[in-house]
Amino acid sequence: MQRKLILSALAAAVAAPAVIAATAPTFAQEISFWSWRQEDREQYEEIIARFEAQNPGVEVAFEAFEASQYATILSTALAADNAPDSMMVRAYGAFEAVANGGYLMPLDEDKVPALADFPQSAVDAVTLRSDGVTYAVPFASQTMLVMYNKAIFDDLGIDEPQTWDDLIAAAETITEAGMFAFANGTATAWQNETLTFSLGASTMGQDFIADMRAGEADFTDERFIEALEKVNEIKPYLPDGYQGLDYPSAQQLFVSGLAAMFAGGSFEIANFRSQNPDLEIGLFAAPGADEGDTPLVATFFDGGYAGSATTEHEEAVLKWLNFLATQEFGQMFANSLGNITPIPGVTFEDPLLQEVADLNANSIPYVMLTDFRYQEPSGSVLIQSEVQKMMAGEATPEEVGQAVTEGIATYHEPFQD
């Protein structure tokens, strides 16, 4: 009897670990994801929930930082070997500043096969020029155009302008009605670059961009100067004291209905709607001189989703990045975040987003960002400061073109001839 009890106890002891192992909970692998979009937390949490439901065993911890501080926070973390597992990275020159350090996981098509179907311009925005390697999954395309308050246009009987003279006539009508035609100010430096390409793209034209990229033109070209002249013409239709008007204040003038138009990026749409849900927004590409001219917008890509080269959870990170390249994600991105995604096959339920997508068919690149934000002085810094002077009456369009060309020529050989 005693021997049977001992054998039973031994059997129970041997079986116990197996029972514990079978009933013990499995622990999910958590990966971190950093963003500069604090305002998008709710939407990203919904996106993460969808991903986690499809990938049991992987959890994504979302952390967002203030946009203006994000680059410093991220670069410091990367250099200190304290990087997040995955992160949003900006495009073009800002992207290269991160990728050049060897901090990012290479994403060849074996790792993220869907990249093969993305537009090449989107992939180029997150591809390191020195090694030709793509290190991120591209997201949002942004479009520089003119947004307008439909109620004001309807009340004043204004149609979308077909020529530059139409645009000036509309601005006159709005001013005579006691409102500001444009909400924009010039105190926030980057808004001067926005004005240049939102209002001047059609006048610059695609041929100018092609010639400039081929080394056959620079920013003293008459086509670029004419675009600057057009921008200079709208000064009488900006708010009183526009030289001291910063970006948030300009946004408020448009959202509140005190100004009828806003020259800016498609990224403004969701923000304007959140501030004033009753605001009915229309949009158009600022026209060229003649009615037969094809109106053009200027486009660029915001950035991409990248993985850390030193993550301890590479498999989980790649699952996450592959999800961010799917049409399913792209549809959520368009619907909930109100942005144009480069992911093929996405439809736009929002008619305004569809309008933006349609305008993108006729575009030029937002060239100071796409081509000249890799070295210093960057094209963006140059155009921002010089146009700011022009709008203050301290420089002519010709002087702006000359200063921008000379600044870029310090490192861009085609401009040195």
Tell me the pairing of strands 29-35 and 58-64.
parallel
What pLDDT is recorded for position 57?
A: 95
In the predicted model, residues of the chain with pLDDT beneath 70 are: 1-27
Q: Does domain 29-140+302-325 have CATH number 3.20.20.70?
A: no
Report pLDDT for 291: 80
What pLDDT, on a 0 to 100 scale, did the predictor assign at position 108?
A: 85
188 exposure class (CB count in 10 Å sphere: 0-12, 13-18, 19+):
middle
pTM comes to: 0.90
Three-state SS annotation for 254-297? HHCCCEEEEEEECCHHHHHHHHCCCCCEEEECCCCCCCCCCCCE
pLDDT of residue 26: 53
Per DSSP, the three-state class of 90 is strand
Per-residue model confidence (pLDDT) at position 42? 95
pLDDT of residue 41: 95
- Would you state the structure tokens that stand for residue 336, as one six-digit string? 């909930």
- Beta bridge pairs of residue 145: 264
Q: Which CATH superfamily is domain 142-300+361-416 in?
A: Periplasmic binding protein-like II (3.40.190.10)
Cis peptide before 377 (omega within 30 of 0): yes
Dihedral sign, Cα of residue 109, residue 112, residue 114, residue 120: negative
> Boundaries of CATH 3.40.190.10 in the chain?
29-140+302-325, 142-300+361-416
**Angle of CA points 82, 51, 318, to nearest 5°:** 50
Which among 404, 398, 364 is positioned nearest to 384, based on CA atoms? 404
Position 50, amino acid: R
CA 379 to chain centre: 17
Structure tokens at 3: 């021997």
